[in-house]
Structure formats: structure tokens, C-alpha cells
Structure 1
Amino acid sequence: MSQEVRGVISRSKGAPVEVTTIVVPDPGPGEAVVRIQSCGVCHTDLHYREGGINDDYPFLLGHEAAGIVEQVGAGVTDVAPGDFVVLNWRAVCGVCRACRRGRPWYCFNTHNARQRMTLTDGTELTPALGIGAFAEKTLVHAGQCTKVDPAARPAAVGLLGCGVMAGLGAAMNTGNVTRGDSVAVIGCGGVGDAAVAGAALAGATTIVAVDTDSRKLDWARTFGATHTVNASETDPVEAIRAATGGFGADVVIDAVGRPETWKQAFYARDLAGTVVLVGVPTPQMQVEVPLLDVFGRGGALKSSWYGDCLPSRDFPMLTELYLQGRLDLDAFVTEEIALDQVENAFDRMHGGDVLRSVVVF
């Protein structure tokens, strides 16, 4: 039998979000209903509200979540009612060409729940990133649920569902940072600071954090940055080279996603170094560099999708590191808020006052 719960929706482009009643159907084959315990306020949710993703309004926002599986549909075997899970937005199919080649983190056919949640008048909702977790309960594909240790704090490990995983994975998976490497991270919001934390966890000995906001550089130091550069005062390319013996960093991660920051990353890496783009550009952005520089510098130019993570592998491992005190996910939680404070959280995000506001139920 369907359930009525409270959720945060965006009805039209730019309009303030609102809390309203949504209808969550019983799970069908391969689906699960999850009782949400926490959900981070991610910049992607703001993109949805502003029409930056598509115009399939109304949206049920929220996607960076942890909770308890309440019901499962036919054929679901990997999770069961009572399991504590972190939700992910790339449920792998297992049969596409990427999955069959043993690279499921590149799955080209990820999927979500087939049924739609609705308003009480029957209007279908589009769940953000196929999740829609600014709600007391949500309907997802069971493959979007990853079991983790229930001893973990939901508000902290739920952030693995998007931004923190994107940053950690940009360093550890895409960038393949290893012991003794030098790493630079351009942009020190939630994703960038997670990349700093990932580089530290992987054993990098020099970690240069770059931003134009001194507050964010202070945050980066707490996550393991050994050097900080205020790009509004200092040329970041020259500063990164100076911090790495004049050579440039082994791995440079662009967590901003603008042409100018990508070019900084390109020229701030050592010969045969790696550039990782994890910040998301807009469709109109273009970058131009001399092709001879691409050839002459060698190395690798990569983009990082969701930190190239495999949730079934990475979420439990990172949760265990958190419980061991080796990965401070709590430090990403700037504030815990109620469901009706999401619009205010967007304002604080604009002001750069938070790493993450987290809705706690």
C-alpha cells in the first residue's frame, strides 16, 4: 500500500523549494523503499532547482543520503528490511560492455526505480539523480542501496552518496594517488576538500590546496593540505611548482570545472603527470591549449565520474576507515538542519559558509 510522507520539491525554475506531501508507492520488482535518516544539501540539488540539469519539473530534491531499508520488491536479494544503507545514483547494470570488461564503475547503463513517486494529485515527480531523498521515505532501485556498518553516523556516511565520494575517488581512484606523490587540488569546497582527504589517505606527502577564499583554505588544512595558495593573490601554477621542487605536482585535481582552472591544472603538473577534472563544467565552456603542449608534457588527462567509484566496494571500505578514525567524515558536516530549512541551506551554500548542511530526520 502506498504511503504519504513529507518531502522537498522544486515546482519551477528558480522558485523557492517547498515542503509538501508526496506519495511513495510500494516497491515493485527490483525496487526498495528506504526510510531516510539524513540527506546532505549538495550543489547539484541547487542546479536542479535552477533548471541547470533539465526542465522535468517538479523535482523531488535530495540525493546524498543514508537510511534504513523498509520494504523490498520481488527479486531483491542484496538488501533486506532493516539494513542500514547509503544511497548511490549509479546502480550498475552488470551486463553492459563496461561491466562485462570488469570496469563497472564506468557502467553505461545505470538504472533507477521504474515507478514514479507523485504528489497527492497524481503529478509525477522527478527524483534528483534518481533518488529524491529530501523526504521521510523514498523509492529507489535496490541496486542504489549499499549496506554499510550500522554503527556509523548517518549524517556523516550519507555524504559518501555524492560529493565526498566524488572528491575521495578523484584522488584515490581516478588520480591513482599513491605513497610519496605530490598532489594539488584546485577548489576547496566539499568535493575539493574530500580530494585533499583522499590524497592524504593514499599517502601523498605534498598536498597543495588552491582557492580564492581563505576560509576554505583553512578547511583544507584540517583535511591534510601541507601547503595552501590563495589564487586571488598568487599565481597558482607558480606556487604549485614552488611547493614541488620546481617540477609541478604528480596529480592535479580540478574541483572547480572552469576553463581557467583546468588550464592551471594542466600547466601545474609535472611532466608525465595526471590532470583529473572532477568539477562539473557547463555546456558552453571550452578550453584551448596548444596541441604540442599536450604531446610534449605527456601523462594523462582524465575526467572523474562520481570519483570512478564502485559503491559496493568503496562505501563499506570508507565507512570502516571512518569508524577507525582514519577518515574524518564528521568534519564535512557543518550543520544539521530540519527538512524545512533546505532553502536557507541553499543561501548558505551560495555564501560559501558551509561544507555541507545535512537534513536530519
Structure 2
Amino acid sequence: MPQHVQGVIAPGRNEPVRVETIVIPDPGPGEAVVKIQACGVCHTDLHYKQGAINDEFPFLLGHEAAGIVESVGEGVTDVTPGDFVVLNWRAVCGTCRACERGRPWYCFATHNAKQKMTLLDGTELSPALGIGAFAEKTLVAAGQCTKVDPTVAPEVAGLLGCGVMAGIGAAINTGNVGRGDTVAVIGCGGVGDAAIVGSRLAGAAKIIAVDIDDRKLDKAREMGATHTVNSRSSDAVEAIRELTGGFGADVVIEAVGRPETYEQAFYARDLAGTVVLVGVPSPEMKLELPLLDVFGRGGALKSSWYGDCLPSRDFPMLIDLHQQGRIDLAAFVTETIGLGDVEKAFARMHEGDVLRSVVVL
């Protein structure tokens, strides 16, 4: 029987978000209803509100979440009611050409729930990244549920659902940061700081954090950066080269998603070094680079989709590392808030006051 719950919707481009009653259908084949315990406020949710991703309003926001499986549909065997799960937005299909070649983290046919959640008047909602977790409960594809250690705090576990996984994965999975490497991270929000954590975990010898906000650079040092560069007052490329013996970094992770910061990343890497783009650009952005420089500098230019993660492998591993004290996921949580505070959280995000606001239900 359909359930009525409270959730946060974005009704139209740049309109204030509001709490509405959401209708959650019973799970169909391959689907699950999850009772949300915590959900991080991610910059991608702000992009949805601004219409920077698409215009399929109204959106049910929220996607960086953890909770308890309440019910499952026909054919679901990987999770059962009562399981504590982190939600992911790339549920792999297992049958596309990437999956069949043993590279499921590149799955080209990821899937979401087939049924739609709605408002009381029947208006269909577009769930952010196929999840929609700023709500007391949500409907997802069962493959979007990843079981993890139930003793971890939900507000910590949920962060793996997007930003923290994207950043750690950009360093470890996409950038292949290794022991003794030099790494530069451009943009020190949640994803950039997670890339710093990932680089430290991988054994990088030098981690250079770049941002225009000294508050964020101070936090980056707490997360493991060995050096910081304020690119508002210094030339980022020259500063990175100076800190790396004139060569540039082995891996440069761009966590902003803008042409000018990508260009900095391109020229701040060593010859045959790697650039990883994990910041999300908007559709109108264009990049222009001399093709001779692309050829002559060698190396690799990579984009990192969700940190090239495999949730079933990476989420439990990172939770275990957190439980062992080897990474501090709780350090990403600046504040916990309620459903009615999401609009204020967006304002704080815009002002650079928080690393992560987390909605706790």
C-alpha cells in the first residue's frame, strides 16, 4: 500500500526548496523502499535546484544517504528488510559491454527504480541521481543499496554515497596515486578534501591543496595536505612546480569543474603525469588547449565517474578503514540539520561555511 512521507522538493529553477508530502509506492520487481536515517547536502543537489543538470522539475532532492531497507520487491535477493545500507547512484547492470569485460565501475547501463514517486496530486517527481533521499523514505532500485557495517553512524556512512567516495576514488581508483607520489588537489570542498584523504591513504609523499579560501585550506591541512596554495594571491601552476622541484605533480586532481581550473591542472602536472577531472562542469562550459601541448606533455587526462568506484567493493572497505581509525569520515560532517533546514544549508554551502551539512531523520 502506498505510503505518505515528508520530503524536500525543488519546485522550479532557482525557487526555494520546500517540504512536501511524497507518495511512495510499494516496491515493484527489483526495487526497494528504504527508510532514510541521514543524507548529506551535496553541491549536486544545488545544481538540480538551479536547473544546471536538467529541467525535469519538480525534483525530489538528496542522494548522499544511508538507511534501513524497509521492504523489497519481487526477485530481490541481495538485500532484505532490516539491512543497513548506503545508497549509490550507479547500480550496475551486470550485462553491458563494460560489465561483461570485468569493468563494472564503468557500467554503461546503470539503473534506477522504474516506478515514480509523486506528490499528493499525482505530479511525478524526478529523484536526484535516481535516489531522492531528502525524505523519510525513498524508492530505489535494489542494486542501489549497498550493505555496510550497521554499527557505523548513519550521518558518516551516507557520505560515501557521493562526495567522499568521488574524491577518494578519484585519487585511488582513477588517479592511481601511489607511494611516494606528489599530488595536487585543486578545489578543497568535500570532494577535494576526500581526494586529499585518498591520496594520503595511498601513500603520497606530498599533497598540495589549492583553493581561493584560506578557511578551506586550513581544513585541507587537517585532512592531510602537506602544503597549501591560495590561488587568489599566487599563481597555482608556478606554486605547484616550485613545490615539486620545478617539475609539476605526478597527479593533479581537479575538483572544481571549471575550464580555468582544469587548465591549471593540465599545466601543473609533471611530464607523463595524470590529470583527473572529478569536479562537475555545467553544460555550457568549453575548454581550449593547444593540441601540441596535449601531445607533447604525454601522460593521461582522465574523467572520474563517481571515483570509478564499485560500491559493493568500496563502500564496505572504506567503512572498515573508518572503523579502524585509518580514515576519519566524521571529519567531513560540519553540522547535522533537519529536513526544513536544507535551503539554509544551500546558503551556507554557497558562502563556504561548511564541508558537509547532513540531514538527520
Task: Give the TM-score band, short-chain normalised.
Answer: over 0.9
Which residue in the other structure is 1:151 paired with?
Answer: 151
Which residue in the other structure is 1:288 paired with?
Answer: 288
Which residue in the other structure is 2:210 paired with?
Answer: 210
What SS class does the counterpart of residue 13 from structure 1 fall into?
coil
What SS class does the counterpart of residue 158 from structure 1 fall into?
helix
Which residue in the other structure is 1:129 paired with?
Answer: 129
Which residue in the other structure is 1:192 paired with?
Answer: 192
Give the AA of the match of 1:209: A
Give the AA of the match of 1:84: F
What CA distance in whole angstroms lies between the structure 2 residues aligned with 1:121 and 1:236? 52
What CA distance in whole angstroms lies between the structure 2 residues aligned with 1:143 and 1:267? 40
Deviation per residue, 1:329-354 (Å, 9 max, x gap): 10100000011000100110110000
What SS class does the counterpart of residue 239 from structure 2 fall into?
helix
Which residue in the other structure is 2:22 paired with?
Answer: 22
Q: Report the TM-score when normalising by structure 1.
A: 0.99
Deviation per residue, 1:168-211 (Å, 9 max, x gap): 11101000001111000000001100001100011001000000
Which residue in the other structure is 2:170 paired with?
Answer: 170
Which residue in the other structure is 2:94 paired with?
Answer: 94
What CA distance in whole angstroms lies between the structure 1 residues aligned with 2:20 and 2:287? 42
Give the AA of the match of 2:24: V
Q: Which runs of 4+ in 1 moved over 3 A?
A: none
**What displacement does 1:242 show?**
1.2
What CA distance in whole angstroms lies between the structure 1 residues aligned with 2:87 and 2:125? 18
What SS class does the counterpart of residue 69 from structure 1 fall into?
strand
Q: Is the 8 A contact 2:89 2:144 kept in 1?
A: yes
What CA distance in whole angstroms lies between the structure 1 residues aligned with 2:110 and 2:168? 21
What SS class does the counterpart of residue 19 from structure 2 fall into?
strand
Q: Report the TM-score when normalising by structure 2.
A: 0.99
What CA distance in whole angstroms lies between the structure 2 residues aligned with 1:56 and 1:209? 36
Which residue in the other structure is 2:115 paired with?
Answer: 115
Q: Does 1:304 align with 2:304?
A: yes
Which residue in the other structure is 1:343 paired with?
Answer: 343
What CA distance in whole angstroms lies between the structure 2 residues aligned with 1:135 and 1:287? 38
What SS class does the counterpart of residue 70 from structure 1 fall into?
strand
Which residue in the other structure is 2:56 paired with?
Answer: 56
**What displacement does 1:102 show?**
0.7
- RMSD of Structure 2 on Structure 1 (CA): 0.7
Q: Does 1:274 align with 2:274?
A: yes
Which residue in the other structure is 1:82 paired with?
Answer: 82
What CA distance in whole angstroms lies between the structure 2 residues aligned with 1:302 and 1:124? 36
Q: Is the 8 A contact 2:31 2:113 kept in 1?
A: yes
Identity fraction in percent = 78
Aligned length: 361
What CA distance in whole angstroms lies between the structure 2 residues aligned with 1:194 and 1:138? 27
What CA distance in whole angstroms lies between the structure 2 residues aligned with 1:284 and 1:3? 40
Which residue in the other structure is 1:315 paired with?
Answer: 315
**What displacement does 1:56 show?**
1.1
Which residue in the other structure is 2:13 paired with?
Answer: 13
Give the AA of the match of 2:43: H
